[in-house]
Amino acid sequence: MGRIALVTGGTRGIGAAISIALNEAGYTVATTYARNDEVATKFTAKTGIPTYKWSVADYEECAEGVAKVEADLGPIDVLVNNAGITRDGMFHKVTPQQWKEVIDTNLNGIFNMTHPIWSGMRDRRFGRIINISSINGQKGQMGQVNYSAAKAGDLGFTKALAQEGALKGITVNAICPGYIGTEMVLAIPEKVLNEKIIPQIPVGRLGKPEEIARCVLFLASDDAEFITGSTLTANGGQFVV
């Protein structure tokens, strides 16, 4: 195989499952993380996957980080823009800082990461950009005006850039996970999760990170070369588009 994949926010949650699945499928994988050194060290010890620390919210850090990964491993063929944060709160209580942090990471982050990689993919006539958006970018979610706006923005980014990449052998797609059993979802107040959210999922359970990782594997593969600009939903039937 020999392809090189970079997964942002890849040491925990959905990102960790994606990194591991790509690694097991024969990709050379690198992951990024922003804060938690201890988790990253343990992740590398367990999986052998190298981790790089920078914030996707900072363009310069992304450009430098991408250059370092490419110097270490070679040109990046597959970019999975997975890094994301929540700063949930009802809109009347949300601060400008909470708005900015979510937009900077979840929306500006995919620009910051994709831009330094894009020209190389164009030159090589191959690339896979896979953006992890969210069910809440599709349907909106109370308590998540910032997150829903950013994740909806990721879908617009995907559709527009797909058109630019189409004749250059680059596909750009999005995945919209529903509620997946990660730390991010388990941080929701238990009463809200059990009484308001899980009853809205027709399959009757949270998703598993590995179920999203399998979507990534497909979109990254040669089998998916005719699929671009698309949104793959994986939400247990919670929101049907």
Give residues in contact with ligand CAA (CB under 6 A).
86, 88-90, 134-136, 141-144, 147, 179, 184-185, 188-189, 192, 196-197
Least distance to ligand CAA, CB of residue 173, Å: 17
Q: Report helix, strand and coil shares of the chain as percent, to nearest 5.
A: 55, 15, 30
- Angle at the Cα of 38 from the Cα atoms of 76 and 36, rounded to 5 degrees: 65
Least distance to ligand CAA, CB of residue 191, Å: 7
Looking at beta carbons only, is 126 or 147 nearer to ligand CAA?
Answer: 147
Tokens 């497909």 map to which residue? 218
Looking at beta carbons only, is 28 or 173 nearer to ligand CAA?
Answer: 173
Looking at beta carbons only, is 75 or 143 nearer to ligand CAA?
Answer: 143
Looking at beta carbons only, is 8 or 47 nearer to ligand CAA?
Answer: 8
Active site residue 59: no
Kindly state the tokens that stand for 80.
């999975």
Quote the DSSP letter at residue 180.
Answer: B
Least distance to ligand CAA, CB of residue 103, Å: 14
Kindly state the tokens that stand for 124.
């090589």
Least distance to ligand CAA, CB of residue 207, Å: 9
d(CA 58, CA 54): 8
Q: Looking at 27, 33, 52, 147, which residue is catalytic?
A: 147
Position of minimal CB gap to ligand CAA = 143
Look at the alpha carbons of 179, 184, 190, 196 in this order and tell me if their dihedral is positive or negative.
negative
Tell which residue, 28, 38, 37, 25, has the closest CA to residue 6: 28
Catalytic residues: 147
